Structure 1
Amino acid sequence: MKKALITGANRGIGLELTKRLAHKGLFVILGVRTEAHATRTKQTLVADGIDPDQIDHVLIDLNDADSIKKATGYVAEKHPDLDLLVNNAGIAGDMQKATLATTPAEYQATWNVNVLGTLQVIQQLVPVLKKHQSQIVNLSGPNFATPFYNPAAYRVSKIALNGLIQSIAIDFYNEKAPVEIYGIFPGGVTTDINNNRTGKFMKTVQEAGEQLMAIIFDGKDHNGDIVGADQKIISAVKFTM
């Protein structure tokens, strides 16, 4: 049975993707911040028809290096056959605040979690993932700007994350590692992170989950790609001239 670790698995896109991965037959490891989150999420999954023996969890806070080290150490020891890492957890900051009104501390807060926290998870688990064919999927954002979507601290952190993803992808390519890393921009999704915003350009978590699963299991090598929900490549690394 293939295994997946999903950070931020207790709500929103993370929970929806966890359900779908489990229903596809994967063993799911819930990355959550508290035992209460773990308990509620397991109850939700079992109520959805998922075998409780198909579920494990780790407590992980992407703003806490010790928490990351402890959680990834547990996964490396108990689940050395991990195939899929889904870096879904993140924070939004104030999505309504103007760019120049956003303080350095607010930019730093999103950077610490969305970029540096994600980086540490990857660094700790790459030795496990390199043992076999595996994927690192990162929920990310677009590289382009639009007046219709400009949550400054969040968007800047996701642009940085895209750069990180592609830099790691180059390393994997040069090392001929059996790991692919890529980002998926799911588009506008109605979740807690945006105060359950709805509208013409928003989709449900169920719709987003279906689109994400289609990309993860499309059989293509997405190393270095930033992929849109419509499966179109937003940005890619040119590995050959």
Structure 2
Amino acid sequence: MTGRPSTDEVLRGIDLRGRTAVVTGASSGLGLETARALAAAGCTVIAAVRDPERMRRALNAAAGDDPADRGIGVVELDLADLDSVRSAAAAIAAGHPVIDLLINNAGVMAPPLTRTAQGFELQLGTNHLGHFVLTVGLLDRLGAGARIVNLSSRGHLMSGMRWADPHYRDESGYDKWQAYGQSKTANVLFTVELERRFADRGIHAFAVHPGVVATDLARHLGREDFTTVLSGLAVADVRHGAATTVWAATSVELQGRGGLYLEDCRVAGPASGSQEGGGGGYAPYAMDPDEAARLWSWSEEQVRRS
């Protein structure tokens, strides 16, 4: 367990009534806890999930009542299919003229080589490109004071952008952890470019490392992964794992700031150690403004053709 607070401790004394948040991947794990905590503080939450019925069951099991009574609505969203992403963005925008918080939480980690509906490598396609299309589709609903929180990971230290073959068209070169690292680097670079483009509108973006948390994200992992890549890393429960996300979304300390990499409810600096050694902070390539601008242009090209 880290020394970070729980979500409820982060939100103690904070009143989010009148504010609206979108949380992706909210049917389990960190996303469900983020949605629950924000709703408990009075926020209206739109849970954007691949399986709406699973979301409803999860909320009913946790709350014992109708999710609508808790200020949580549900929208279907499959980040691995850009047609679904565009439909979800349109539905959310039609029902909510103002969005204060966009929490890009959903993700996939270290699966076998898989393709999205548009043929992208699954991790880059889901973790970055799906959220790219959703975020761009909701920008007109974000105004001054809005925050965008992108769930990254210390796993970004495993790889920068592989510009020569980001989607592993050469399938013989696929490495699930390298691909995961690339997608998590993309999350940080996306944050940097969002801040550059929209800070003058009062919209600020943050990249979050939630720590190692026992959730469904690990469903593709085998015993070897836990004894090598994840060996020795402290595991947090969801109420502590989601705390940095909630802190990024609500902290007064971060008001008027953005383009930051956050972990353990604090602003992190450059990495001082390796992923395997548990060192914190970000890799310089993940905060490179030129790489961030390149990723935005590349992302526009990818989704335009899809």
Question: Which band: TM-score by shorter chain?
Answer: 0.7 to 0.9
Partners in 2 of 1:10 and 1:211 — Cα distance? 19
Tell me how large the CA RMSD over aligned residues is. Answer: 2.8
The within-5 A match list for 1:44-59 is 44-47=61-64, 52=69, 54-59=71-76
Q: What secondary structure sits across from 2:91 in the alignment?
A: helix
Asked if 1 retains the 8 angstrom alpha-carbon contact of 2:260 and 2:267, the reply is no
The within-5 A match list for 1:1-241 is 1-47=18-64, 52=69, 54-94=71-111, 108-130=121-143, 132-142=144-154, 143-145=156-158, 151-173=177-199, 176-195=200-219, 200-219=233-252, 220=254, 221-233=256-268, 234-235=281-282
Q: Per-residue CA shift, 1:135-193, capped at 9, x if unaligned? A: 111111234349xxx932212210122112211211113xx112111111111111111
Partners in 1 of 2:114 and 2:77 — Cα distance? 25
Asked if 1 retains the 8 angstrom alpha-carbon contact of 2:247 and 2:265, the reply is no
Matched length: 225
Over 3 Å counting, the alpha-carbon distance change for 1:57 and 1:159 in structure 2 is: same
Structure 2 length normalisation: TM-score?
A: 0.66
Asked if 1 retains the 8 angstrom alpha-carbon contact of 2:20 and 2:99, the reply is yes
Asked if 2 retains the 8 angstrom alpha-carbon contact of 1:21 and 1:28, the reply is yes
Deviation, 1:51, is 6.0
- Equivalent residue, structure 1, for 2:9: none
Deviation, 1:115, is 1.0
Asked if 2 retains the 8 angstrom alpha-carbon contact of 1:224 and 1:237, the reply is no
Bigger Rg, which one: 2
Q: What secondary structure sits across from 1:90 in the alignment?
A: coil
Q: Per-residue CA shift, 1:83-107, capped at 9, x if unaligned? A: 111001111133xxxxxxx759698
Percent identity over paired residues: 26
Over 3 Å counting, the alpha-carbon distance change for 1:68 and 1:204 in structure 2 is: same
Q: Per-residue CA shift, 1:62-115, capped at 9, x if unaligned? A: 111111111111111111121111001111133xxxxxxx75969821111111
Partners in 1 of 2:148 and 2:106 — Cα distance? 13
- Runs (5+) with no aligned partner, structure 2: 1-17, 160-175, 269-280, 290-306
Q: What secondary structure sits across from 2:138 in the alignment?
A: helix
Deviation, 1:222, is 3.9
Asked if 2 retains the 8 angstrom alpha-carbon contact of 1:22 and 1:50, the reply is no
Partners in 1 of 2:19 and 2:34 — Cα distance? 15
Structure 1 length normalisation: TM-score?
A: 0.82
- Runs (5+) with no aligned partner, structure 1: 95-101
